Amino acid sequence: MLTQEIIRRKRDGQTLDRKMLDLVMGGIADGSIGDAQIGAFAMAVYLNGMNRDEAVALTESIRDSGQVMRWGGPGDLGCAGPVLDKHSTGGVGDLVSLILGPWVAACGGHVPMVSGRGLGHTGGTLDKLESIPGYDVTPSDAVFHRLVKEVGVAIIGQTGSLAPADKRLYGVRDVTATVESIPLIVASILGKKLACGLETLVMDVKVGSGAFMPTQEASRELAEAIVAIGCGAGTRTSVLLTDMNQPLADCAGNSLEVFEALRLLGGHGKESRLHQVTRSLAQEMLIQSGLAGDAEEADKRLNRALDSGEALERFSRMVQGLGGPGDLAEHAGHYLLSAPVTVDLEADRAGFLSTIDTRALGLGVVELGGGRRNAGDAIDHRVGLSHIAPLGQRIEPGQPLLRIHAADRDDADAVSQRLRRAFGLSEAPVEPPPLVHATLRQEDLS
């Protein structure tokens, strides 16, 4: 069947079957379909949507457009435990992946985590890891497989062999105003993840002022689609809707977040929002994969992995296996660069911290040089924000709202007013929002 006829069917509101979608995704992957037809296909889906069966078929076609890893069967890569992963829609101060992967690996899981770079106001896991000297986010397949099997975790970037159709399709969507389509978003997320041969996937969908989706209703719609399509494609999939009305950690910026990950993996900060959300996601991963029978058993395993130092050791072995220093945990200050200028942004009046424009804080990090304004921009891993005051805290005049880490004083001054406007104060006390708004599993869908 001709590609243009498949596009015509979708343009006219008809459904596409797996064979048609395989033809389109295969042509995107091997280059036989040009950008014009990719754009037309994406716009037809954007305008007409897809039913659930179509969305599952699209996800499977993207998954199967390249290599699909096989870990546990005879003649495969031979992992002893379940293969599982987590993915987030992105946020500010969201370094969950750096902690969660090693932590779950220390509980017996195998986590082949393929991550991305910063997008817009959100930080990228790969950008954080590249603040570690020598860390290779594009290792050979052999190194990746060995670390997932022997260490239990490897966090890398997307390889050319994994879901190649998605890379081209996403690039065209980005310049054709077709990004905001639930079937295309879900197929892009899940196609890459399921190509890693996962048995279990737990998604972290953000809600709030720093979330990717504009409203709580849109986040819920995305979450329900992810569960239904992931399960429909044969992978146990659940979603936690977590809060992004304030940064998850009290810091944002690449080196700063690696420092914080090492601190939590070392057993500190157990009362923090970051620790609690990471633990909730880890619990769900252990339960859904069968590594724990219930939340109580999951907590026991997680406590043991953290308190024994095993989770931190897994992180250290992963870093060393991907070219970084083996003693990063012991000498982080030697390897992770710090910004030469720090400036406290002080409150000019008293009140209770009632709102935070989390997106504005993320853009502030970008403006400091910690993210990209244009594709290909170099990142300054040193810069960012720390000591960010939490929602609900009583603030007095002159008390710091946050600390700016900048390359120079001019950069710090330039971003100060944007950051000051991100904080809203009220006279009455404010109750912070819940950290986990909801958990969705297949049985929760109508």
| Lowest-confidence region among 12-16, 301-305, 367-371 | 367-371
Half-sphere exposure of 344 (CA within 13 A, CB side): 10
> Same domain, yes or no, for 141 and 246?
yes
* CA gap 186, 170 in Å, rounded: 12
Pairing of β 400-406 and β 384-386: antiparallel
pLDDT one-digit tens code per residue, 96-137: 999 999 999 999 999 999 888 776 787 789 999 999 999 999
Q: Do residue 324 and residue 384 come from a single domain?
A: no
Q: Which residues pair with 238 in a beta bridge?
A: 202
User: What three-state secondary structure class fits 23?
Assistant: helix
Give residue 192's identity as a one-letter amino acid code: K
Lowest mean pLDDT among 159-163, 224-228, 264-268: 159-163
Contact present, 43 and 181 (Cβ < 8 Å): no
Q: What is the DSSP letter of 370?
A: I
pLDDT tens digits along 179-219: 889 999 999 989 988 999 899 999 999 999 988 787 889 99
Residues in the chain: 446
The three-class DSSP label of residue 21 is: helix
List the catalytic residues: 85-88, 125, 173, 188, 192-193
Which amino acid does the sequence have at 232? G
Identify whether residues 154 and 180 lie together within a single domain: yes
Q: Which of 47, 42, 43, 69 is nearest to 58 (CA)?
A: 42
Distance CA 308, CA 305 (A): 6
Whether residue 68 lies inside any domain: the answer is no
Give the pLDDT confidence of 75-105 residue by residue, as tens digits: 456 788 899 999 998 889 999 999 999 999 9
Q: Domain check: are 389 and 406 in the same one?
A: yes
The percent of residues above 90 in pLDDT, for the chain, comes to 83
Asked if residue 310 and residue 255 are part of one domain, the reply reads: yes
* CB under 8 A, 24+ apart: contacts of 376-380: 379/118, 379/127, 379/130, 379/254, 380/339, 380/407
Q: What does the pLDDT average to over 12-33?
A: 97
pLDDT of residue 75: 44
Give 347's contacts (C-beta < 8 A, 6+ positions apart): 395, 396, 397, 398, 399, 400, 401, 423, 425
Check whether residue 291 and residue 370 sit in a common domain. no
- The domain in which residue 19 lies consists of 3-49
Q: Look at residue 375 in the predicted model and tell me its pLDDT.
A: 62
Q: Give yes or no: residues 152 and 35 share one domain.
A: no
Q: What CA–CA distance (Å, rounded) separates 213 from 384?
A: 24
Q: Say how many domains are in the chain.
A: 3
What CATH number did the domain enclosing 420 receive? Answer: 3.90.1170.30
- Please give the mean pLDDT across all residues of the chain: 93
User: Between β-strands 84-88 and 351-356, what pairing exists: parallel, antiparallel or unpaired?
Assistant: unpaired
What gap in Å lies between CA 254 and CA 275, rounded to an integer? Answer: 18
User: How far, in Å, CA of 173 to CA of 168, rounded?
Assistant: 9
Q: Is residue 79 part of a domain?
A: no
pLDDT, position 72: 62
Determine the average pLDDT of the residues in 63-85.
80
CATH code assigned at 8: 1.20.970.10
410 within domain boundaries:
yes
Calculate mean pLDDT across residues 229-242. 95
Instruction: For residues 281 and 402, state if they share a domain.
Output: no
Does 139 lie in the same domain as 110?
Answer: yes
Q: Do residues 112 and 85 touch, judged by C-beta distance below 8 A?
A: yes
In a domain, 241, yes or no: yes
Asked if the structure places residue 66 within a domain, the reply is no
Residue 71 domain flag: no
Span 385-417, pLDDT tens digits: 999 999 999 999 999 999 999 999 999 999 998
Q: Each residue of 247-302: pLDDT tens digit?
A: 999 999 999 999 999 999 999 999 999 999 999 999 999 999 999 999 999 999 99
Among 261, 251, 264, which residue's Cα sits nearest to residue 368? 251
Q: Which residues, 6+ apart, have CB-to-CB distance to 241 below 8 Å? A: 205, 206, 207, 219, 220, 223, 436, 437, 438, 439, 440
